[in-house]
């Protein structure tokens, strides 16, 4: 996960803070282990994502290929559900692009699978779009440990959801996307409430139509995917829908920020052999020159793909190409036409 100075310090300590929070009930129950931990009952029967799916009620009795086909058939519903949220997603894309232009950040917050997906999307932005690691940040209940191990109880604290955002300095220029499939996760609820308090733009991403977090958001994105093949296992259809939405938000915002030329990633960071080869190929595809010429132009432009494209297509020096890009807000097409 990519972190800026403030978030690095936060992640170094959040594991200890969360450990104190989560283990407190365990200490209170010392000597009464046979009764297990105490959790307040939560009403889930009204949630679509917790309902039983008629198509998979005999799941354990199906042949393997039948089981695969049932899952695939249910997965096919996900893209349609996300498509129905196109206008809401587009609104968020434009808001995120505007806030990022003004120096704000896109922050994801969530617990469990939702939190992991937010961290994943955030971590993919620097190598794909050459963004500063602090531009898109993923926060998960329970801290770094929760990426690979369930931190029981972390999602039940709205106070922790707020304090984790306070620790990274969430402010009015930022956009907070609270991700909660159920729409009621206390950690996310606390985060959204804190975000509204400090003036950040709030987005509620859930997969239930009557989600509690909707009323806490400036914009709600609600792809209702229906009951899961495995009842309540929201890492399935709901998780896929969440990833599709996050993909669209960051990709769309980066397009608006000039990180692409057509459908080419022209702001990628060639940090390994594969990405270097991709950079050469992108320059070739954008300009029509051969691999050797593309490599030479990239070298002359310090490995910057969009600089190489502008220099080649506008027939100007790398220095002039840099000036044009600066004057045109990093937009390749506009820089070439100028």
In this structure, the strands spanning 219-221 and 260-261 are unpaired
- In angstroms, the CA 302 to CA 199 distance is 40
User: Would you call 327 a catalytic residue per the annotation?
Assistant: no
Tell whether the model's pLDDT for residue 7 goes beyond 60: no
4: pLDDT strictly greater than 60? no
Using a 10 angstrom Cβ sphere, with 0-12 exposed, 13-18 middle and 19 or more buried, the burial of residue 20 is exposed
* Paired residues of 265 in beta bridges: 260
Mean pLDDT of 102-106: 97
Pure H helices in 29-151: 64-83, 86-101, 112-129
Q: Are 115 and 146 in contact (CB under 8 A)?
A: yes
**What is the average per-residue pLDDT within 219-240?**
93
228 catalytic, yes or no?
A: no
DSSP tag of 218: S
Share of the chain above pLDDT 70, in %: 86
CB 335 within 8 A of CB 325: yes
Residues 11-31: pLDDT tens digits?
444 333 333 333 223 332 233
Q: Residue 39: its pLDDT value, please?
A: 57
Exposure class string for 76-102: b at 16+ Cβ within 10 A, else e: ebbeebbeebeebbeebbebbbbbbee
Q: Which of 17-21, 95-99, 241-245 has the lowest mean pLDDT?
A: 17-21
Q: What is the mean pLDDT of the chain?
A: 87
Q: Find where tokens 């707020």 sit.
A: 162
117-130 pLDDT, tens digit per residue, is 999 999 999 989 99
pLDDT digits (tens, 9 = 90+) for 267-301: 987 889 999 999 999 999 999 999 999 999 999 99
pTM over 0.85: no
- Of residues 74, 85, 155, 228, which has the active-site annotation? 155
Least confident of 21-35, 200-214, 257-271, 289-303: 21-35
Given a contact cutoff of 8 angstroms between Cβ atoms, the answer to whether 194 and 186 are in contact is no
pLDDT at 233: 85
CA angle 191, 119, 152 (to 5 degrees): 65
């Amino acid at each position: 996960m990519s972190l800026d100075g403030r978030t690095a310090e936060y992640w170094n300590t959040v594991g200890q803070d969360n450990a104190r929070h989560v283990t407190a009930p365990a200490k209170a129950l010392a000597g009464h282990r046979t009764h297990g931990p105490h959790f307040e009952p939560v009403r889930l029967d009204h949630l679509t994502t917790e309902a039983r799916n008629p198509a998979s009620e005999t799941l354990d009795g199906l042949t393997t290929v039948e089981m695969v086909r049932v899952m695939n058939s249910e997965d096919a519903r996900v893209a349609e559900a996300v498509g129905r949220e196109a206008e809401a997603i587009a609104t968020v894309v434009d808001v995120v692009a505007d806030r990022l232009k003004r120096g704000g950040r896109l922050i994801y917050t969530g617990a469990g699978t939702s939190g992991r997906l937010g961290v994943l999307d955030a971590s993919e932005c620097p190598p794909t779009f050459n963004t500063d690691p602090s531009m898109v940040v993923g926060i998960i209940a329970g801290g770094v440990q929760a990426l690979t191990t369930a931190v029981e109880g972390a999602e039940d604290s709205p106070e922790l959801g707020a304090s984790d955002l306070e620790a990274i300095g969430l402010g009015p220029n930022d956009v907070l996307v609270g991700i909660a499939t159920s729409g009621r996760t206390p950690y996310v609820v606390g985060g959204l409430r804190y975000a509204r308090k400090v003036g950040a733009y709030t987005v509620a991403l859930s997969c239930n139509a009557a989600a509690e977090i909707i009323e806490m958001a400036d914009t709600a994105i609600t792809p209702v995917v229906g009951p899961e093949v495995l009842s309540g296992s929201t890492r399935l259809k709901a998780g896929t829908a969440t990833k599709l939405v996050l993909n669209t938000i960051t990709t769309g915002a980066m397009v608006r920020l000039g990180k692409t030329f057509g459908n080419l990633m022209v702001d990628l960071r060639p940090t390994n052999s594969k990405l270097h080869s991709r950079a050469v190929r992108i320059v070739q595809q954008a300009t029509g020159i051969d691999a050797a010429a593309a490599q030479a132009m990239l070298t002359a432009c310090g490995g910057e793909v969009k600089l190489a494209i502008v220099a080649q297509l506008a027939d100007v020096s790398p220095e002039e190409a840099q000036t044009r890009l600066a004057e045109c807000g990093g937009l390749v097409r506009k820089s070439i036409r100028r």
